[in-house]
C-alpha cells in the first residue's frame, strides 16, 4: 500500500471559511479513489464572519493558524472560495479561434460591458464552455467576476496563517464538485437526476438544486442550527459553548428530545418545504428526485427520516467521504460526524486534481 496515494507536489488544502468555523481538508488520489490526508475544524469568534464577509481578519487568521496546527499537514498552498452571492457570472460568445491568452486579453478589454463595477476593483475569471450551438465559429465563455476586495481579504487571512491562496473558487462550484462524488450513490445515475442539496448551517440554510450535476437554482434563508443552540441555552441555562457541545455530545435532560429537538426538526421540515415551494414556483420543475442534507445541522439524528416522511422525497445525509480511504492520522468518528458540513471544503480540496 505504501506510496499508493501519492500526494502531488501541487496538492492544495481545501479551506472553507464559513460564518462559525474554519474547515480544512486535504485529499490525495490514486486512480479514481480518494483518501482523506488531513482534516480539522476550528470555531471562529462571534461576528468574525458576517453574512459571508470577513469582518475580523485577525480573528479569522488566528483560527486558520489553529486549524493548520491541528491538521498537521505540511501543505501551504490552499484553495478558498467566495460566496456565490458575491459573484456575477455571464455566458458570452467569443471568437472560437482565439487562444486562451488572446481570449483573456480580449475579455479584459470587453469586460466593462458585462460587469457593473470599475474594472480595477474586479477580479475576473473565465472558462470556455464549448462551441456555441448557434454559430460554430463562436465559443461560449463563462465569465465570472467579483469585487477584488473579496478575494484579497481571503488571501490576507490565509497569509496570516502562513497559507498561500493558490486557487480562489466560488462556493457553488465547490459544492457541484463534491456533489459529483455523491451522485453515483443515487439510484438513477448522474444524468437524469434533479437533486435538492439543502445546506443547513448555523445561521443560513441554502437550497441548491442540481440538474445533470449543474446548479440550476439557489436560494438562501436565514435559518439554522443557532436557533436550536439558543433554545438549549434558554431552557437549560447554558452558555453558547456548553449548548453547542451538548448538541453534538448529548447529556441534556430527558425532555430534550421531545420538548426541544423534535420541534426544531419540525421547523427544519417547514423550511425545507418552503424553499422547495419557491423553487417549484420559479421554474419548470414540480419535483426533485432526492433531497441531500448538508451543513452541520444535517447531523441531527432522525432529520433525514422526518423530511422524507413529511415531504415524500427520498432524503439522505450527504457524506462525500463514503467511498474514500482515510489516512490513519484522521479521526474516523469525528470525520463521519462532520462530513455533511465538509462538502465545500471537499470540493475545494478536489481542485488539487484539476
Ligand atoms: N453533530 C451535530 N449535531 C447537531 N448539530 C450540529 C452537529 N454538528 C454541528 N452542528 C451544528 O451545525 C451548525 C454549524 O454548521 P456549519 O458548519 O455547516 O455552519 P456554517 O457553515 O459555519 O454556518 P452558515 O452556513 O450559517 O454560515 C452549528 O449550529 C452546530 O451547532
Ligand atoms: Mg455554511
Q: Record the cell numbers describing residue 157, joined without a space.
A: 487571512
Q: Is 170 helix (H, G, I), strand (E, B) or coil?
A: strand
Q: What is the chain's Cα-based Rg? A: 21
**Closest protein CA for atom 12 of ligand 1:** 296
Do 24 and 38 contact (CB within 8 A), yes or no? yes
Rounded to the nearest angstrom, the distance between the alpha carbon of 86 and the centre of ligand 2 is 15
Q: What is the pTM of this model?
A: 0.92
CA nearest neighbour of 159 among 243, 77, 103, 43: 77
Q: How far is residue 90's CA from residue 144's CA, in Å, rounded to a whole number? A: 7
List the chain pLDDT tens, one digit each, 354 residues. Answer: 334 555 556 799 999 999 999 999 999 999 889 999 999 999 999 999 998 899 999 999 999 999 999 999 999 999 999 988 888 888 889 999 988 889 888 888 888 888 878 888 888 888 888 898 889 999 998 888 888 899 999 999 999 999 999 999 999 999 999 999 998 888 765 568 999 999 999 999 999 999 988 899 999 999 999 999 999 999 999 999 999 999 999 999 999 999 999 999 999 999 999 999 999 999 889 999 999 999 999 999 999 999 999 999 999 999 999 999 999 999 999 999 999 999 999 999 999 998
Q: What is the pLDDT of residue 1?
A: 33
Do 19 and 202 contact (CB within 8 A), yes or no? yes
Rounded to the nearest angstrom, the distance between the alpha carbon of 18 and the centre of ligand 1 is 10
Q: Ligand 1 pocket test: which of 41, 59, 201 has the largest number of ligand atoms within 8 Å of its C-beta?
A: 201
With a 6 A CB cut-off, is 206 part of the ligand 1 pocket? no
Q: What is the pLDDT of residue 247?
A: 94
Rounded to the nearest angstrom, the distance between the alpha carbon of 330 and the centre of ligand 2 is 22
**Closest protein CA for atom 31 of ligand 1:** 244
- State which ligand 1 atom lies nearest to the alpha carbon of 20: 22
Q: Is 321 helix (H, G, I), strand (E, B) or coil?
A: coil
- Dihedral sign from CA coordinates of 248, 250, 251, 255: positive
Number of neighbours of residue 228 by Cβ within 10 angstroms: 22
- State which ligand 1 atom lies nearest to the alpha carbon of 226: 29
- For residue 201, the ligand closest to its alpha carbon is 1
Q: Is 351 helix (H, G, I), strand (E, B) or coil?
A: helix
Rounded to the nearest angstrom, the distance between the alpha carbon of 309 and the centre of ligand 1 is 23
3-state DSSP percent of the chain in helix, strand and coil, to 5: 40, 30, 30
Amino acid at each position: 500500500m505504501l506510496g499508493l496515494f501519492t500526494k502531488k507536489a501541487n496538492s492544495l488544502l481545501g479551506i472553507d471559511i464559513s460564518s462559525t468555523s474554519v474547515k480544512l481538508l486535504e485529499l490525495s488520489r490514486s486512480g479514481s479513489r480518494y483518501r482523506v490526508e488531513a482534516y480539522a475544524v476550528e470555531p471562529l469568534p462571534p461576528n468574525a464572519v458576517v453574512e459571508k464577509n470577513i469582518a475580523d481578519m485577525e480573528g479569522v487568521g488566528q483560527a486558520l493558524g489553529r486549524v493548520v496546527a491541528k491538521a498537521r499537514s505540511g501543505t501551504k498552498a490552499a484553495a478558498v472560495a467566495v460566496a456565490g452571492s458575491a459573484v456575477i457570472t455571464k455566458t458570452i460568445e467569443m471568437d472560437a479561434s482565439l487562444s486562451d491568452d488572446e481570449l483573456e486579453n480580449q475579455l479584459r478589454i470587453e469586460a466593462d460591458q458585462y460587469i457593473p463595477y470599475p474594472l480595477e476593483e474586479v477580479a475576473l475569471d473565465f472558462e470556455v464552455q464549448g462551441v456555441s450551438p448557434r454559430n460554430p465559429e463562436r465559443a461560449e465563455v463563462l465569465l465570472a467576476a467579483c469585487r477584488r476586495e473579496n478575494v484579497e481579504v481571503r488571501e490576507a487571512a490565509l497569509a496570516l496563517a502562513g497559507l498561500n491562496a493558490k486557487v480562489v473558487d466560488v462556493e457553488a462550484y465547490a459544492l457541484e464538485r463534491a456533489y459529483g462524488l455523491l451522485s453515483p450513490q443515487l439510484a438513477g445515475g448522474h444524468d437524469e437526476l434533479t437533486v435538492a442539496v439543502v445546506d443547513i448551517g448555523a445561521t443560513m440554510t441554502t437550497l441548491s438544486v442540481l440538474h445533470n450535476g449543474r446548479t440550476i437554482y439557489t436560494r438562501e434563508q436565514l435559518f439554522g442550527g443557532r436557533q436550536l443552540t439558543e433554545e438549549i441555552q434558554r431552557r437549560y441555562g447554558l452558555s453558547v459553548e456548553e449548548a453547542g457541545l451538548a448538541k453534538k455530545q448529548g447529556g441534556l435532560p430527558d425532555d430534550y428530545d421531545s420538548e426541544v429537538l423534535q420541534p426544531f426538526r419540525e421547523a427544519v421540515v417547514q423550511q425545507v418545504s418552503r424553499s422547495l415551494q419557491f423553487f417549484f414556483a420559479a421554474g419548470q420543475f414540480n419535483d426533485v428526485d432526492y433531497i441531500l442534507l448538508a451543513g452541520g445541522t444535517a447531523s441531527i439524528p432522525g432529520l433525514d427520516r422526518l423530511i422524507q416522511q413529511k415531504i415524500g422525497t427520498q432524503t439522505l445525509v450527504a457524506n462525500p467521504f463514503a467511498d474514500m480511504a482515510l489516512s490513519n492520522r484522521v479521526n474516523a468518528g469525528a470525520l463521519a460526524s462532520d462530513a455533511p458540513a465538509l462538502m465545500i471544503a471537499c470540493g475545494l480540496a478536489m481542485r488539487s486534481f484539476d
